[in-house]
Structure 1
């Protein structure tokens, strides 16, 4: 882990000038350099045993990155299954545990898994709802609330997913990251707090922890993507999260986009912000490449 005084530990706060000045005043100058970045600059089978996967629905496709992928594979791990997308070419690749929003493992998450696989990653989109997918916010809230009340089964689910990937012949076992949006962003952080060995953690507007004793379990770099209009995760909480990570020496890139709210990267949601989403996605790819491909 790098020293907390390492100048490379920068927080990238994408905020209007007034907010940046406030942020800089609130953060230890010894642990981070706050700087602006323009948002939107880059366009961007039932019979299987747990731990196995089936190829009955396997299809080949190409994403915008041009890498042929194998998608539609059902991955069986623990007592549930997930969605696996991977490069078609033989070889060993870094991998990502992808964690769904509060809606569940739906088509949007499957599409994101395919997009990321086309960038050269084996992607396992986990299912923390045991096959349930919410069709409205009321059901989504109930499903997410049940997990939050008892997180242990979800944590065991994600740990099993990590072990599933580590055991695969096409995965580099020490190059596995977790990422999630909304509910999944919070669960990505919760997995990191267990001390599970990971190469990186990515949080898209997920619930945060600011207790330094709990955050001390994190040994890997963290990427955080947030909107300054997200009332559920206030800017002040994001800044405290960043400052605390800096004080204990955790490498992190934290971005706060102005004028966008919660779930701004969900193309099917009311808060969708396409320019900010493309910029955040490019930052995600850059972060993964630095920490999983180098």
Structure 2
């Protein structure tokens, strides 16, 4: 599917989907700090698409001093229906997402507003899984990886991962069980030898999303504060 087939009014930037000459393009939402520059952060969407909620996350990161880019992995499509979201996620080719995310890293590092030599990667639900895959793929270009309630499949190769990891997960999350989370963290430590800080909250899945019934403000704000402190410490 071409990314030109759908338009999302939240899109405000276009960038090459890979580093290769003649590559096709991806779209996304870029938010800049008020003073114009700061460390770069890629924001990876939930399975709903590039929604107002994802835009709000990028805007909030910009208000905290980061240059935030949320790639539109669905090429403009969004949904609030879980069955449709599951279908969108299933239809998203992993190599297509990987190219878009790699392009987003390159684009951020090349933006004149980005002051860091690396970028942070923050992702939610489906995006949390992509964050760890992206960090493994991009190596030294990712300065910090922050997955929220998402982990990639058990066959993921983490040997290329160099970034410290801060993960936020809910003790009441039935879709991402803590046993799987801990097993993933152990594989990251074994294969990559990097620090993995797992934070567990008394909350269900998607507890940061204030558009969903699972929103838990206290856990969300604590995880947010930890995230921004972690990004400031490691993305330089």
Range class of TM-score, shorter chain: 0.7 to 0.9
Match of 2:133 among 170, 190, 194: 190
Alignment partner, residue 77 of structure 1: 15
Structure 2 residue matching 1:195: 3-state secondary structure:
helix
For each residue in 1:64-92, what CA deviation from the matched residue of structure 2 results, as whole angstroms up to 9, or x when unmatched? xxxxxxxx7811112232111111324x4
Using the size of structure 2 for normalisation, the TM-score is: 0.86
Q: How many residues align?
A: 218
Using the size of structure 1 for normalisation, the TM-score is: 0.70
Match of 1:96 among 32, 41, 50: 41
For each residue in 1:90-147, what CA deviation from the matched residue of structure 2 results, as whole angstroms up to 9, or x when unmatched? 4x42110111110000111111111110111100111000001113112111101112
Q: CA deviation at 1:238?
A: 1.5
8 Å CA contact 2:149, 2:167 repeated in 1: yes
More helix by proportion, 1 or 2? 2
Structure 2 residue matching 1:87: 3-state secondary structure:
coil
Match of 1:203 among 135, 138, 147: 147
For each residue in 1:16-42, what CA deviation from the matched residue of structure 2 results, as whole angstroms up to 9, or x when unmatched? xxxxxxxxxxxxxxxxxxxxxxxxxxx
Distance in 2 between the 1:168 and 1:253 partners? 30
Q: CA deviation at 1:173?
A: 4.7
Distance in 1 between the 2:47 and 2:31 partners? 21
Distance in 2 between the 1:110 and 1:195 partners? 24
For each residue in 1:209-241, what CA deviation from the matched residue of structure 2 results, as whole angstroms up to 9, or x when unmatched? 555x81221111111100111122111112222
Q: Which structure would you say has the larger Rg?
A: 1
Q: CA deviation at 1:256?
A: 1.2
Distance in 1 between the 2:52 and 2:151 partners? 23
Structure 1 residue matching 2:142: 3-state secondary structure:
coil
Alignment partner, residue 96 of structure 2: 153
Unaligned stretches of 5+ in structure 2? 1-8, 17-24
189-198 or 119-128: which moved more? Answer: 189-198
Match of 1:175 among 115, 118, 132: 118
Distance in 2 between the 1:209 and 1:291 partners? 26
> Taking CA–CA contacts closer than 8 Å with sequence separation of 6 or more, which of the two structures ends up with the larger relative contact order?
1
79-88 or 190-199: which moved more? Answer: 190-199
For each residue in 1:138-179, what CA deviation from the matched residue of structure 2 results, as whole angstroms up to 9, or x when unmatched? 2111101112xx200110001111111111111135231111
Distance in 2 between the 1:151 and 1:239 partners? 23
Within-5 A mapping of 1:3-22: none
How much is the aligned-residue C-alpha RMSD, in angstroms? Answer: 1.9
